[in-house]
Amino acid sequence: MSKTILVKLKKAGNNATNFSIADNYGNILATNVSKEALIEGIAYIVEDEVTVIILTYSGKDCCNKTLNIPVSTITKQEVADITFSTKNTSSMWSHLTDITKYNEYYGCIHSYIIEYPFAYQYLDEIVQNVKDYTKVYKYLPKETTSNDSNRKIQTNDKYFNKAILYNDQQSSGTLNLYPKPFRDMKAYLSYPKFNADSKDILVTKSDNFYQYNTFWNIVKDAEIPLFTSSCEGVFLDKEVNQDNMDYSTRAFRKATIRAKDLKVRQILDNSSSVNLVSQFIITPAQLSYK
């Protein structure tokens, strides 16, 4: 047997925008439901055994937080009397209370982005590779009530997970950075890997330099913007315009990234367990005569 339930919001903060709805048996009732629709109320048909509705919400500074709502019986008049009100809780955010966590805000991982600009001399130059001297620290859980800066180790297997090289008319698109496989030639030879909206390449660490190459210009049309405005908030100013990128494999005629300037944008958005201390970066290049 089945029954009809009504899901209706009474209170929500401004940051919550989209909702997913499921029951306590894991059945998905709806995804990407707007807050406005839930304020009006939405009816769903569920099995009689369902006792809890699970709301998962996301939005600015919200990363898939869940709320369990017991199924209860109320009258039509009580439903009609439900009015929505905005509820925002002001609080002081304390940073680095957990020394093992970085670039995490209200339980959500936020992108750590650093961008290096390069200006070349009179002649254009072709970028060959990127050599970055960054120290990557992982802090161990503290043993006392105070943070202990001595409880840290420097790792070799963590680094930025994305990079973008570009100038005003050229771009490498999104490069996913993966550590070089150790003693696994088959896995090593499987790179680069081409995806619909990115390319997977290897990054190595040698003489304390993180190094990567295997990039070229993949812009389809230089007269179309290379970036779009981000909808993720002020912490991310732009995103790659994927519609203007061609990530397909090319056996020949790979266009070099060549100009009188270059920007190297490096991103960490899949981890909060390490502290990246960037020292300096170089981009070996060769003069390009025309």
φ, ψ at 137 (rounded to 5°): -105, 140
Q: Which amino acid is at 54?
A: I
Mean pLDDT to the nearest integer, 23-29: 87
CB 248 within 8 A of CB 255: no
pLDDT (tens digit per residue) in 67-92: 788 888 888 787 777 888 776 665 56
Q: DSSP letter string over 168-205?
A: SS-B---EEEEEPPTT-HHHHHT-SEE-SS-EEEEEEE
Contacts of 69 (CB under 8 A, 6+ apart): 7, 52, 53, 54, 55
Greater pLDDT, 65 or 189: 189
Give the per-residue pLDDT at 267.
Answer: 94
pLDDT of residue 202 exceeding 80, the answer is yes
Quick check: 36 and 19 in contact, CB under 8 A? no
Of residues 128 and 90, which shows the higher confidence score?
Answer: 128
- On the question of pLDDT at 234 being above 60, the answer is no
pLDDT score, position 41:
86
Distances (CA, A) of 10 to 7, 28, 52, 263, 266: 10, 22, 17, 48, 42
Contacts with 120 (C-beta within 8 Å, 6 or more apart), sequence order:
259, 260, 261, 262, 285
> Using CB atoms within 10 A of its CB, is residue 155 exposed (0-12), middle (13-18) or buried (19+)?
middle
Domain limits of the chain?
2-86, 104-288
Residue 144 has pLDDT above 90, yes or no: no
CA–CA dist 29, 17 (Å, integer): 17
Q: What is the pLDDT of residues 32-41, one digit of tens each?
A: 888 888 888 8
pLDDT at 108: 76
User: pLDDT: is 277 or 147 the higher one?
Assistant: 277
DSSP state of 225: -
